[in-house]
């Protein structure tokens, strides 16, 4: 079989072309137009949030969130180390320092270590939380919902409330994931913290080519973020700007794609779920490998599948072996605290992130995969692992 099976590619088979054509014909191609507002409204309705502000990328959304919270060069922001670097770089855009936190078995931030860090390395003064060693104020916590999973938001929000710290939810990978049990039952990833951010990059569960969205239950936050994303216009007629803004608004053309993608999101999730269980039912019984679980108390969007290897030595062998069979896979991200711009930044007891980094390979998860594709990937993995074991 020589058909190439990519890791994660978009699925553009709905009303995308129709809506884009309509948008082109309307000549509203830039950052104004009805598609943007409709996309914001429909997304907000879908995740039950007060509103939404569409922007150029998830990275831009995270930057706007930090800017809204007033993060500056005197501050520090708690971030995960096991994530994509876009979750952390905006901290540096604002000349603040990250403090890197470990993950738990959900691959998301470990609330137990978060609490321990705040209790042992920080002190509170005049309503501020200060890191003793850095002599910086902790201004916010960035929580990433990794691979369609959800962080333990009940514990994290309890800690954040206790310390009066705002929480930015990087829900770029978890659009459509929501709690089905517990305190936050019915609430979607991105709508629980102070500010949530989505991404519509090409590899995410739904795409606008490139794009992002900021969501919040506070209309004050939404208004301010929109203002910052559109060059901070205080008077649109006379060009009065009382702050530094950004050119971060989504275009009407991108929003047209997003509207069509959103129409199919539940179908995408259904397909991802079916393929996830196909992999899991076939592979979990094999010695030395396992498909990682999502939290039991959520409806996941099943965005990315994590093949977990007992032996770290098999990681590269699996990736190479799959590629030889025309199957694309990838290792999980290198820890951000080990990347060159961050090697001198503060870390707190990183341990599980290393463990999972050594053992996880992400395997094909596109919504275009048919049952035969998944069966083929499973057969190749079985053959490769059989080779290691025998
Ligand atoms: C994709 C992603 C982002 C960034 O989104 P872009 O739209 O590509 O800027 C941020 N954080 C995480 C965890 C991501 O996976």
Written in H, E and C, the secondary structure of 263-306 is: HCHHHHHHHHHHHHHHHHHHHCCCCCEEECCCCCCEECCCCCEE
* Model pLDDT for residues 169-190, shown as the tens digit of each residue: 999 999 999 999 999 999 999 9
Residue 190 resides in a domain: yes
pLDDT digits (tens, 9 = 90+) for 3-44: 899 999 999 999 999 999 999 999 999 999 999 999 999 999
For residue 212, how far is its CA from the centre of ligand 1 (angstroms)? Answer: 9
Pocket flag, ligand 1, residue 201 (CB < 6 Å) = yes
- Decide if 2 is inside a domain: no
What are residue 364's phi and psi, to 5 degrees? -50, 135
What is the four-CA torsion angle of 7, 16, 45, 219, rounded to 10 degrees? Answer: 90
The answer to whether the CB of 169 is under 6 A from ligand 1 is no
Q: Do 325 and 219 sit in the same domain of this protein?
A: no
pLDDT score for 173: 98
Q: How far apart are CA 146 and CA 107, in angstroms?
A: 6
Q: Report the DSSP pairing between strands 75-80 and 289-291.
A: unpaired
Whether the CB of 86 sits within 6 Å of ligand 1:
yes
* Residue 388 pLDDT class (50, 70, 90 cuts): confident
Same domain for 288 and 177:
no
What is the CATH number for 51? 3.40.640.10
Task: Label residue 239 exposed, middle or buried (CB < 10 Å: 0-12, 13-18, 19+).
Answer: exposed
Q: pLDDT (tens digit, 9 = 90+) per residue, 140-164?
A: 999 999 999 999 999 999 999 999 9
Per-residue confidence (pLDDT) for residue 108, from 0 to 100: 98
75 C-beta closer than 6 A to ligand 1: no
Q: Are residues 147 and 54 in the same domain?
A: yes
CA–CA distance, 322 with 328 (Å, rounded to integer)? 7
Domain final residue, candidates 214, 239, 263:
263
Containing H/E element for 255? helix 252-263
Indicate if 228 and 291 belong to the same structural domain.
no
Copy the structure tokens of residue 319: 């990736």
- Are 96 and 207 part of one and the same domain? yes
Contact 42, 50 (CB under 8 A): no
**Averaged pLDDT, 346-370:** 98
In this structure, are 24 and 127 located in the same domain?
yes
Let me know whether 337 and 254 are in one domain. Answer: no
Count Cβ atoms within 10 A of the Cβ of residue 368 and give its class: 0-12 exposed, 13-18 middle, 19 or more buried.
middle
Q: Is 81 found in the same domain as 48?
A: yes
Tens-digit pLDDT profile for residues 282-320 = 999 999 999 999 999 999 999 999 999 999 999 999 999
For 220-277, the pLDDT digits (tens) are 999 999 999 999 999 989 999 999 999 999 999 999 999 999 999 999 999 999 999 9
**Predicted pLDDT of residue 313:** 96
Q: Is the model's pLDDT at 216 over the cut of 70?
A: yes
Q: Which domain range does residue 210 map to?
A: 16-263
Residue 7 in domain: no
Confidence of residue 373 (pLDDT cuts 50, 70, 90): very high
pLDDT tens profile 68-108? 999 999 999 999 999 999 999 999 999 999 999 999 999 99
Centre of ligand 1 from the C-alpha of residue 125, in Å: 34
Total domain count, the chain: 2
Q: Is residue 338 part of a domain?
A: yes
Round to whole Å and give the CA distance between 11 and 257: 11
**Residue 43 in contact with residue 262, Cβ under 8 Å?**
yes
The residue among 130, 193, 136 whose CA lies nearest residue 161 is 193
Structure tokens at 12: 């553009």
Q: Record the tokens describing residue 160, joined without a space.
A: 């954040």
Is residue 10 domain-resident? no
| 364, part of any domain | yes
Q: Please check whether residues 339 and 258 belong to one and the same domain.
A: no
170 shares its domain with 303: no
Atom of ligand 1 nearest to the CA of 203: 1
**Domain endpoint, select from 239, 263, 287:** 263
Is the CB of 109 within 6 Å of ligand 1? no
For strand 51-55 and strand 212-216, is the pairing parallel, antiparallel, or unpaired?
A: antiparallel
The three-state DSSP-derived secondary structure of 16-71 is HHHHHHHHHHHCCCCCCCHHHHHHHHHHHHHCCCCEEEEECCHHHHHHHHHHHCCC
**Closest among 373, 290, 286 to 327, alpha carbons compared:** 373
Residue 1 has pLDDT above 70, yes or no: no
For position 300, which CATH number holds?
3.90.1150.10
87 CB less than 6 Å from ligand 1? yes
Q: Do 177 and 212 lie in a common domain?
A: yes
Pocket of ligand 1 contains residue 271 by CB under 6 Å = no
pTM, entire model = 0.97
Q: How many whole angstroms from 191 Cα to the centroid of ligand 1?
A: 17
Of 263, 278, 300, which residue sits at a domain end?
Answer: 263
| Chain center to CA of 358 | 21
For residue 1, tell me if it sits in a domain. no
The answer, yes or no, to whether any atom of ligand 1 lies below 6 A from the CB of 212, is yes
Q: 173 in ligand 1 pocket by Cβ < 6 Å?
A: yes
Same domain, 177 and 290: no
Q: Is residue 11 part of a domain?
A: no
Ligand 1: residue whose CA is nearest its atom 13: 84
């Amino acid at each position: 079989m020589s058909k190439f099976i990519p890791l994660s590619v978009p699925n553009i088979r709905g009303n995308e072309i129709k809506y884009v054509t309509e948008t082109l014909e309307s000549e509203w191609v830039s950052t104004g137009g009805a598609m943007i507002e409709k996309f914001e409204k429909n997304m907000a309705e879908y995740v039950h949030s007060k509103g939404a502000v569409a922007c150029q990328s998830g990275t831009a959304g995270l930057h706007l969130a930090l800017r809204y919270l007033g993060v500056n060069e005197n501050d520090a922001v708690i971030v995960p180390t096991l994530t994509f670097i876009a979750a952390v770089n905006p901290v540096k855009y604002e000349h603040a320092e990250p403090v890197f936190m470990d993950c738990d078995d959900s691959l998301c931030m470990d609330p137990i270590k978060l609490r321990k860090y705040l209790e042992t390395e920080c002190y509170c003064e005049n309503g501020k939380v200060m890191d003793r060693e850095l002599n910086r104020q902790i201004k916010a916590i960035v929580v990433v919902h990794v691979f369609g999973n959800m962080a333990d938001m009940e514990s994290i929000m309890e800690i954040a409330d206790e310390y009066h710290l705002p929480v930015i939810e990087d829900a770029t990978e978890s659009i459509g994931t929501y709690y089905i049990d517990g305190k936050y039952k019915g609430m979607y990833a991105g709508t629980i913290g102070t500010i949530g951010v989505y991404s519509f990059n090409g590899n995410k569960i739904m795409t606008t080519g490139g794009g992002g969205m900021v969501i919040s239950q506070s209309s004050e936050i939404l208004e301010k973020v929109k203002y910052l994303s559109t060059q901070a216009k205080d008077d649109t007629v006379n060009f009065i700007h009382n702050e530094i803004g950004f050119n971060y608004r989504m275009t009407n053309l991108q929003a047209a794609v997003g509207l069509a993608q959103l129409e199919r999101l539940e179908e995408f999730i259904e397909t991802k779920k079916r393929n996830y269980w196909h992999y899991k039912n076939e592979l979990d019984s094999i010695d030395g490998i396992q498909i990682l679980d999502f939290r039991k108390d959520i409806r996941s969007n099943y965005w990315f599948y994590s093949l977990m290897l007992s032996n770290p030595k098999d990681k590269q062998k699996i990736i190479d072996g799959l590629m030889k069979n025309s199957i694309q896979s990838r290792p999980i991200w290198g820890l951000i605290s080990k990347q060159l711009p961050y090697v001198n930044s503060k870390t707190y007891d990183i341990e599980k992130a290393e463990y999972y980094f050594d053992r996880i390979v992400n395997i094909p998860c596109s919504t275009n995969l048919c049952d035969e594709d998944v069966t083929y990937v499973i057969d190749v993995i079985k053959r490769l692992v059989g080779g290691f074991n025998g």
